[in-house]
């Protein structure tokens, strides 16, 4: 499968921050698809972020001095647990809210889920049904301390995601 190409050099030259664009592109990847990123420097922090999401990186400096980094998936997040409680999600309460975001583009899913999380209390579980593994969402959940469990349904058509909302940061 052909990698998705993303050149963020124009964003950086214009003084912009390309992280959101990069994470949206990661969220748009087909299962097993790689991302080929062009940047003016070696993006070491990004290498670490995407490694935590299951991507191997292959950074290569070009003759121009710019960098080409290919991020290739080495594992899927489905069936991965990022628990607050090691026994989770078995010990989690029943979902307080169910949302169905099937049919939405991957870039919209992260925002919708984060908005839905704002409507449940800390310690409650949000259940979301979406079209695929929301790779761009996982770092957002991790930063906020939320735990999650996700898996594809039996047919492989939809991704079922449970999120245990963390207490507010002190």
CA 6 to chain centre: 17
Structure tokens at 99: 């949302």
Structure tokens at 64: 């121009």
Give me the pLDDT at residue 90, please: 65
CA distance 163 to 125: 5
Residue pair 134/116 in contact (Cβ under 8 Å)? The answer is no
Query: Tens-of-pLDDT digits for all 170 residues of the chain?
Result: 899 999 999 999 999 889 889 989 988 888 889 999 999 999 888 887 887 777 888 899 999 999 999 998 874 444 444 444 444 566 788 899 999 999 988 878 988 999 999 999 988 999 999 988 887 888 888 888 888 888 877 777 788 999 999 887 65
CA distance 163 to 126: 5
CA distance 85 to 134: 22
CA 111 to chain centre: 12
Could you tell me the domains of the chain? 4-73 (3.30.110.40), 81-164 (3.30.110.40)
Beta bridge partners of 99: 128
pTM: 0.52
Cα-Cα-Cα-Cα dihedral of 138, 142, 143, 144, to 10°? Answer: 110
Q: Which H helix or E strand runs over 144?
A: none
As to burial, measured by CB atoms within 10 angstroms (0-12 exposed, 13-18 middle, 19+ buried), residue 103 is exposed
Q: Report residue 160: phi and psi, to 5°.
A: -105, 125
CA distance 82 to 72: 21
The answer to whether the Cα torsion of 110, 35, 3, 160 is positive or negative is: negative
Give me the pLDDT at residue 166, please: 85
Give me the pLDDT at residue 170, please: 57
SS3 55: strand
């Amino acid at each position: 499968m052909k990698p998705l190409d993303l050149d963020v050099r124009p964003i950086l030259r214009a003084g912009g921050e390309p992280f959101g664009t990069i994470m949206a592109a990661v969220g748009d990847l087909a299962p097993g698809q790689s991302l080929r990123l062009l940047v003016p420097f070696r993006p070491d922090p990004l290498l670490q972020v995407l490694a935590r999401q299951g991507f191997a990186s292959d950074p290569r400096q070009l003759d121009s001095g710019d960098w080409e980094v290919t991020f290739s998936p080495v594992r899927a997040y489905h069936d991965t647990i990022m628990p607050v409680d090691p026994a989770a999600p078995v010990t989690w309460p029943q979902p307080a809210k169910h949302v169905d975001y099937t049919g939405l583009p991957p870039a919209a899913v992260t925002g919708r889920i984060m908005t839905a999380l704002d409507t449940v209390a800390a310690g409650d579980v949000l259940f979301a049904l979406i079209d695929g593994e929301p790779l761009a969402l996982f770092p957002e959940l991790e930063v906020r301390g939320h735990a999650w469990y996700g898996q594809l349904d039996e047919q492989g058509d939809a991704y079922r995601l449970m999120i245990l909302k963390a207490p507010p940061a002190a």
